[in-house]
Chain A
Amino acid sequence: QVQLQESGPGLVKPSETLSLTCTVSGGSMSNYYWNWIRQPPGKGLEWIGYIYYSGDTNYNPSLKSRVTISVDTSKKQFSLKLTSVTAADTAVYYCARATTVVSYFDLWGRGTLVTVSS
């Protein structure tokens, strides 16, 4: 079955760029929307943005100025870059799949904790 796996550094310094990759295995990226969602420790969920397999993107306005999501369908990966991070960006970052532009998320990765600290 289709699985998602996040990867990337677990520690990022303040003011630097957070970079994560999600690898899709067991299925195609076509016709789906690929999302990033984060969850600060002990808190709720925040949608960051999505990329369609064709490359169209949409970001949460609260993060839009700092976020870039890209896709490499040949590697079956999509990536998140978040610039100028602060301690408030410390969170578990999940990648997730959706079937339409604005949708529920039917498949999630296990998540990766990123801590912003010097």
Chain B
Amino acid sequence: DIVMTQSPDSLAVSLGERATFNCKSSQSVLYSSNNKNYLAWYQQKPGQPPKLLIYWASSRESGVPDRFSGRGSGTDFTLTISSLQAEDVAVYYCQQYYRTPQTFGQGTKVEIK
């Protein structure tokens, strides 16, 4: 299985500040034939299911605010919240869909400082 490792485990950021967290895969999730990274990001608020934010490493899902952005390639990826809002408090998960079984990172918890 491809192991997804996220860092840090938790992060406290002031309102309006930038929040950046990382996801590393144990092998590349870049498919050379189409140059796409098979990597998604989700946001999970307490008591709710995960919500898809980003797919193909950098494509924003419809309706997701543009303060959320994803970047990276191969094995190293980043999700950035450009200006943290109170409603962004959540756990964020990355997921690879390059190979079955699809696997998730352990999550990064984002809190307000």
Residues of chain A touching chain B, judged by Cβ–Cβ distance below 8 Å, are 44-47, 58, 60-62, 94, 96, 101-106, 108-111
CB contact between A105 and one of B48, B52, B99, B101 (< 8 Å): that residue: B52
Give the residues from 36 to 60 in chain B that come closer than 8 angstroms, CB to CB, to chain A: 38, 40, 42, 48-52, 55
A108 to B42, CA, bound (A): 11
Query: In the complex, what's the smallest C-beta–C-beta distance from B54 to chain A, in angstroms?
Result: 9
Query: In the complex, what's the smallest C-beta–C-beta distance from A74 to chain B, in angstroms?
Result: 26
What are 5 of the A-B contact pairs (CB < 8 Å)? A44-B93, A60-B100, A102-B97, A108-B51, A111-B49
Is B101 touching A44 in the complex (CB atoms < 8 A)? no
Is A47 touching B102 in the complex (CB atoms < 8 A)? yes
By a CB distance below 8 angstroms, the chain B residues around A109 are: 49
A-B pairs with lowest CB-CB distance, top 5: A104-B40, A108-B49, A45-B104, A60-B101, A104-B55
Query: In the complex, what's the smallest C-beta–C-beta distance from A117 to chain B, in angstroms?
Result: 21
